[in-house]
């Protein structure tokens, strides 16, 4: 699968099969994130990979009561180093690499923006001085949602100046 095909195929998955991700595949997924660019190549972030079913269940109320969090094969929690100004951006780039590789390998993901950072930190023992800017579910899809409508290029992009349409 080429990159554009992976981009076009990626959907937010909110229903997962009860199936663990094989270790070699999980390692390769994490490697795809590790290879992502970061500001000054500093990689001032960490990702906690949660596969323990009891922890996944505890993370449901901390994740906006989204039930599929407890059903995914792995829940990825991004943790930023203190004072690392670009770590949230870098971590998002890393996880986006992972989401596209996941599509190629037949897995699905869903970005989780609705979560209680303090609860997530408490459940996972994350130090108070660290930030949790993003979480992501990962697993084998038990659904194939249809493509959602996207805005036209002309609605999103400007050429050279605000309000100047693309040629």
Is residue 136 in a domain? Answer: yes
Is residue 166 in a domain? Answer: no
- pLDDT at 146 (0 to 100): 87
Q: Number of structural domains, the chain?
A: 1
Is residue 164 in a domain? Answer: no
Is residue 99 in a domain? Answer: yes
- pLDDT at 167 (0 to 100): 86
- pLDDT at 133 (0 to 100): 95
Q: Which CATH number goes with the domain that contains 28?
A: 3.40.109.10
Is residue 27 in a domain? Answer: yes
Is residue 163 in a domain? Answer: no
* pLDDT per residue as tens, the chain (167 positions): 899 999 999 999 999 999 999 999 999 999 999 999 999 998 999 999 999 999 999 999 999 999 999 999 999 999 999 988 899 999 999 999 999 999 999 999 999 999 999 999 999 999 999 999 999 999 999 999 888 899 999 999 999 999 999 88
Q: Which residue has the tokens 């290879």?
A: 35
Is residue 134 in a domain? Answer: yes
- pLDDT at 85 (0 to 100): 87
Is residue 162 in a domain? Answer: no
What is the extent of the structural domain holding 100? 3-156
């Amino acid at each position: 699968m080429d990159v554009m095909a992976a981009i076009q195929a990626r959907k937010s998955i909110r229903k997962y099969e009860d199936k663990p991700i094989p270790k070699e595949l999980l390692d390769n997924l994490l490697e795809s994130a590790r290879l992502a660019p970061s500001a000054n190549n500093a990689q001032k972030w960490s990702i906690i990979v949660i596969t323990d079913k009891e922890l996944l269940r505890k993370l449901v109320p901390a994740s906006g009561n989204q039930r599929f969090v407890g059903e995914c094969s792995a829940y990825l929690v991004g943790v930023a180093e203190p004072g690392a100004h670009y770590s949230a951006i870098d971590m998002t780039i890393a996880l986006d690499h992972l989401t596209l590789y996941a599509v190629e390998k037949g897995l699905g993901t869903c970005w989780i923006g609705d979560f209680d950072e303090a609860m997530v930190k408490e459940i996972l023992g994350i130090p108070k001085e660290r930030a949790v800017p993003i979480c992501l579910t990962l697993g084998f899809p038990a659904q194939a949602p249809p493509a959602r409508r996207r805005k036209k290029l002309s609605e999103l992009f400007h050429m050279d100046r605000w309000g100047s349409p693309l040629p």
